[in-house]
Structures are given as structure tokens and as C-alpha cells.
């Protein structure tokens, strides 16, 4: 298989044009982190990168003991030269959009090679929207009495409507609201409102509505734990549950990283707040929902973000904050642990951005020295720091893991 990392695909889905050009920041993220799929792909797979992102010598040397199980990096020119290998090879996209499908159609045409490209279905646009997540939440609220209806988001198309709700409620209950655009993820496209709306907040809301026509509004919850349920759609009408991952966000909801640990450790952390049977019941409802709504031929990862929050002096479950119809950092963390770590180990996977040129490279050099990578005799990571992608002086995005000593 030939894998391709194309982050921020939700915006490409919203745009709908095969000629859509991602924002510069997304293109830079795609360049710096292009090799990410190697960690969830198979050892005999390939990952499409550009010349800048091709693994550097120090990256190869550092991860040499793991290289047999890591997919190989290739550029488009490699594909053109080795048609015997890549002809009839399936393309696996981080996220499917008309733009990403068209990119590989152009490669096929230019180089006269028959890569097998995922099919775009119009239903994907609906499924990528937060409005589908709301439908899913409503179903879970109806099926599971332990799930509170207070978490169901509402959608609005006018700034005045949103202002009226936020200001009326805040005057009596001091609630904070989160406004979200339908096509966004990982903490992007969010606006936090509390009390009287300022002129700048009205302007931001107007911009969000101009771009996406509606926004969801929901009460901010007293969050205790972020986690996700990871699923895989088989392409033959079945969706299988893969596991749970714990992750961390900053105060604005932006994704920071995921825990690397066994399912036993993850479930123990969840069950310290909630009866794990409720989480498992909600997970099965999610699996059935996805299996019912996805095209039967769809193949790939689907992640559902969940959280545990405190309300009325008890912990409650939000079973569907958003549905990520794509490969995602939770799935990556799950496969990282399964494929490359000892079952008794724990660690953390980070994904971060640094605006200052050269800062990522300097941090990478320090981490290599402070936390040297140690590989066990069985080829698994025992402890230390490891980058998931090559790091250069030009890098601004940094994906890395750090494993604690067992």
C-alpha cells in the first residue's frame, strides 16, 4: 500500500473542489510530518513524502533497529521509476477528499501508472460534519439513560441568535459556551464565549458563519478526561472496534498528544471515573451507528472523541464529541504501542508546532541527548525519545514519543 498524510482534510471536504489548495500552515504540516503513516502501516508498505521530508541520515541511524517494521519513504519520482512495484498498488489517504483523490489521479495520468485510488462518496461530506456527530449523540441519549441530554449541541445560522442564548444564560448561570464550526477538528474552529459578546467575538462569529453557514453551540463541560474510541471500517460492510486511547488537550481544546499504554492501563484510568460497562455499551452503539451510516466499501480508520466530565458532583460520559472520519492521532498512538512498545511500558506521543525557525531542531537535539533511545533485544522500544518524522532546521512541526523506563 502507498500511504499519504494529508492533515486538515475536513476543510478540503467542505470546499469540495478537486483543485482546492490547503492553507500554507497545513501544507507545512504535511511536509514536516509526511512520514507519520509509517508507524501504523506495514513494513512492506510505502509512504509518500516530498524531497524535504525524505528521512535524513540521523533519523535512519537513530531508528535503524526498527526499520524492518517501518514503511519505506518514497517520492513521486520513485513511483514513476518503479512502475513494476507501484502499478495496481492501493493508495491509503489520511483523509479522503475530492482534492486528495484528484492529486493521485494526476499522478496516474502524468506517469501512466494505475494506482488504486479511494472513491469519493457524496455521503462523506455529511459524515465529516459535526451535524452527524449530533445525530449520533441524540441516538446515544435515547438508547442509554446514563447519557445526559445536556451534551447535545444546537446549531445556529445567525449571530444574534447565538448572542441572545449566551447572554441570557450567562446572566443567570454563569455558563461558558463553545462555538464550533461543522468542518473542523483537533481543537481548530472553536470559539469560547462567556457573558456579553464583545465586538471582536461578533466579528469572529460572523466570519465562521460566512465560511460554513452554521455553527454548533454547546455548554462547556467541567472536563476530567479526554479519550477516544478507535474503529476500523473493513471495506466489506463491517466496522470493528480497535481500542481506546487517552489524550491531552490544552486549555483551548487544541490537541497536544496521546498516552502510549496497554489497553489494560487505559481502561483502568477510565474506570477510576466511570463504570467501564457504560463506556463499552456506548462504544458498541457507536460501532453500530458507524456501520449503519458508512458506505459498505469504505476502508480505513474512524476515531470518535469522547470525554468524562463532572456534573452535579458525579462523573458523566460524553460519548461522541466529534467523529473523525480519517486516520487520526489516536489510531496512530494505538498502533505505535502495539507495534513498537513492550506491553508493560508506558509513554506519551506528542504533536506540536513551533513558530520560531530552528527551535524544533534544537529541541530534537536536546531530547536525543537527555533521553537516549534504548531498543530491547526483541526489537521493541524500551525507553527514551524518538522522533516519528525526520527533523531538520526547517521543521516547524514535531511529532515525537518518549517512553519511560519499565
pLDDT at residue number 198? 87
Is the pLDDT at 52 greater than 80, yes or no? no
Tell me the mean pLDDT in the region 3-17. 92
Residue 136 lies inside a defined structural domain of this protein: no
- Whether residues 274 and 178 fall in one domain: no
Residue 343 lies inside a defined structural domain of this protein: yes
pLDDT band at 270; cut points 50, 70, 90: very high
Residue 113 lies inside a defined structural domain of this protein: yes
Interaxial angle between packed helices 159-173 and 199-212, expressed in degrees from 0 to 180 and rounded to the nearest 10 = 130
Geometric angle at alpha carbon 321, from 237 and 123, rounded to 5° = 40
- Whether residues 305 and 228 fall in one domain: yes
pLDDT at residue number 251? 75
Please name the residues in contact with 23: beta carbons below 8 A apart, sequence gap of 6 or more.
8, 11
pLDDT at residue number 231? 98
Q: Which residue has the higher pLDDT, 253 or 288?
A: 288
User: Which of 156, 187, 219 delimits the end of a domain?
Assistant: 219
- Whether residues 273 and 209 fall in one domain: no
- Whether residues 98 and 190 fall in one domain: no
Calpha distance 150→46 (Å, rounded): 45
What's the burial of 377, exposed, middle or buried (CB within 10 Å: 0-12/13-18/19+)?
exposed
Q: What percent of the chain has pLDDT over 70?
A: 96
- Whether residues 246 and 204 fall in one domain: no
Is the pLDDT at 37 greater than 90, yes or no? yes
Calpha distance 111→108 (Å, rounded): 6
Q: Is 15 helix (H, G, I), strand (E, B) or coil?
A: helix
Tell me the mean pLDDT in the region 164-172. 74
Tell me the mean pLDDT in the region 304-322. 95
User: Which of 219, 240, 263 delimits the end of a domain?
Assistant: 219
Tell me the mean pLDDT in the region 296-301. 94
Report the range out of 16-30, 132-146, 169-183 with the highest average pLDDT: 132-146
pLDDT band at 174; cut points 50, 70, 90: low
Q: Which three cell numbers stand for residue 388?
A: 516519528
Calpha distance 132→293 (Å, rounded): 10
Is the pLDDT at 98 greater than 80, yes or no? yes
Residue 134 lies inside a defined structural domain of this protein: no
pLDDT at residue number 62? 86
> Which CATH number characterizes residue 178's domain?
3.30.1490.20
pLDDT band at 167; cut points 50, 70, 90: confident
- Whether residues 168 and 293 fall in one domain: no
pLDDT at residue number 58? 78
CB-CB contact of 177 with 218 (8 Å): yes
Residue 361 lies inside a defined structural domain of this protein: yes
Tell me the mean pLDDT in the region 134-141. 96
- Whether residues 166 and 59 fall in one domain: no
251-265: b (≥16 Cβ within 10 Å) or e: eebebbbbbbbbeeb
- Whether residues 232 and 340 fall in one domain: yes
pLDDT band at 172; cut points 50, 70, 90: low
- Whether residues 233 and 208 fall in one domain: no
Q: Is 21 helix (H, G, I), strand (E, B) or coil?
A: coil
pLDDT at residue number 154? 93
Q: Which three cell numbers stand for residue 109?
A: 495520468
Tell me the mean pLDDT in the region 8-20. 91
pLDDT band at 65; cut points 50, 70, 90: confident
Looking at the structure of the chain, the number of domains it has is 3
Tell me the mean pLDDT in the region 256-278. 96
Identify the weakest region by mean pLDDT among 6-10, 143-147, 383-387: 6-10
CB-CB contact of 184 with 10 (8 Å): yes
Residue located via cell numbers 457507536: 286
Residue located via cell numbers 514503511: 71
Tell me the mean pLDDT in the region 29-47. 95
pLDDT band at 120; cut points 50, 70, 90: very high
Residue 297 lies inside a defined structural domain of this protein: yes
User: Which of 219, 246, 262 delimits the end of a domain?
Assistant: 219
Helices (H), 174-241: 199-212
> Which CATH number characterizes residue 379's domain?
3.30.470
- Whether residues 375 and 231 fall in one domain: yes
pLDDT band at 373; cut points 50, 70, 90: very high
Residue 73 lies inside a defined structural domain of this protein: yes
The residue segments making up the domain with residue 303 are 222-403
Q: Which three cell numbers stand for residue 233?
A: 471500517
- Whether residues 115 and 198 fall in one domain: no
Residue 139 lies inside a defined structural domain of this protein: no
- Whether residues 212 and 226 fall in one domain: no
Is the pLDDT at 375 greater than 60, yes or no? yes
How many residues are given for the chain? Answer: 406
pLDDT at residue number 53? 47
What's the whole-number average pLDDT of the chain? 91
Amino acid at each position: 500500500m502507498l500511504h499519504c498524510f494529508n492533515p486538515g482534510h475536513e476543510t478540503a471536504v467542505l470546499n469540495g473542489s478537486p483543485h482546492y489548495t490547503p492553507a500554507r500552515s497545513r501544507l507545512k504540516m504535511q511536509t514536516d510530518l509526511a512520514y507519520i503513516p509509517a508507524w501504523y502501516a506495514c513494513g512492506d508498505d510505502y509512504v509518500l513524502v516530498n524531497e524535504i521530508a525524505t528521512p535524513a541520515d540521523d533519523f535512519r541511524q537513530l531508528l535503524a533497529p526498527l526499520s524492518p517494521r517501518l514503511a519505506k519513504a518514497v517520492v513521486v519520482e520513485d513511483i514513476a521509476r518503479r512502475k513494476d512495484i507501484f502499478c495496481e498498488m492501493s493508495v491509503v489517504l489520511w483523509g479522503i477528499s475530492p482534492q486528495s483523490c484528484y492529486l493521485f489521479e494526476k499522478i496516474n495520468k502524468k506517469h501512466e501508472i494505475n494506482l488504486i485510488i479511494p472513491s469519493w462518496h457524496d455521503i462523506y461530506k455529511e459524515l465529516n460534519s459535526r451535524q452527524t456527530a449530533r445525530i449520533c449523540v441524540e441516538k446515544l441519549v435515547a438508547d442509554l439513560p446514563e447519557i445526559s441530554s445536556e451534551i447535545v449541541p444546537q446549531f445556529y445560522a445567525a449571530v444574534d441568535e447565538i448572542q441572545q442564548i449566551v447572554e441570557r444564560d450567562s446572566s443567570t448561570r454563569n455558563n461558558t459556551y463553545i462555538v464550533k464550526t461543522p468542518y473542523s477538528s483537533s481543537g481548530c474552529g472553536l470559539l469560547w464565549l462567556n457573558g456579553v459578546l464583545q465586538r471582536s467575538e461578533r466579528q469572529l462569529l460572523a466570519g465562521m458563519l460566512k465560511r460554513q453557514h452554521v455553527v454548533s453551540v454547546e455548554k462547556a463541560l467541567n472536563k476530567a478526561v479526554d479519550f477516544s474510541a478507535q474503529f476500523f471500517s473493513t471495506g466489506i460492510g463491517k466496522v470493528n472496534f480497535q481500542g481506546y486511547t487517552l489524550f491531552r488537550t490544552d486549555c483551548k481544546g487544541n490537541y497536544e498528544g496521546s498516552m502510549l499504554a496497554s489497553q489494560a492501563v487505559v481502561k483502568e484510568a477510565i474506570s477510576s471515573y466511570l463504570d467501564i460497562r457504560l463506556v463499552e455499551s456506548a462504544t458498541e452503539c457507536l460501532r453500530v451507528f458507524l456501520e449503519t451510516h458508512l458506505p459498505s466499501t469504505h476502508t480505513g480508520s474512524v476515531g470518535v472523541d469522547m470525554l468524562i466530565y463532572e456534573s452535579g458532583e458525579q462523573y458523566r460520559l460524553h460519548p461522541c464529541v466529534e467523529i473523525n472520519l480519517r486516520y487520526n492521532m489516536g489510531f496512530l498512538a494505538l498502533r505505535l504501542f502495539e507495534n513498537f512498545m513492550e506491553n508493560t511500558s508506558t509513554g506519551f506521543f506528542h504533536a506540536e508546532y513551533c513558530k520560531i525557525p530552528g527551535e524544533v531542531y534544537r529541541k530534537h537535539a536536546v531530547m536525543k541527548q537527555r533521553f537516549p533511545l534504548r531498543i530491547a533485544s526483541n526489537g521493541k522500544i524500551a525507553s527514551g525519545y524518538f522522533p516519528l518524522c525526520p527533523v531538520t532546521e526547517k521543521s516547524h512541526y514535531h511529532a515525537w514519543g518518549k517512553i519511560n523506563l519499565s
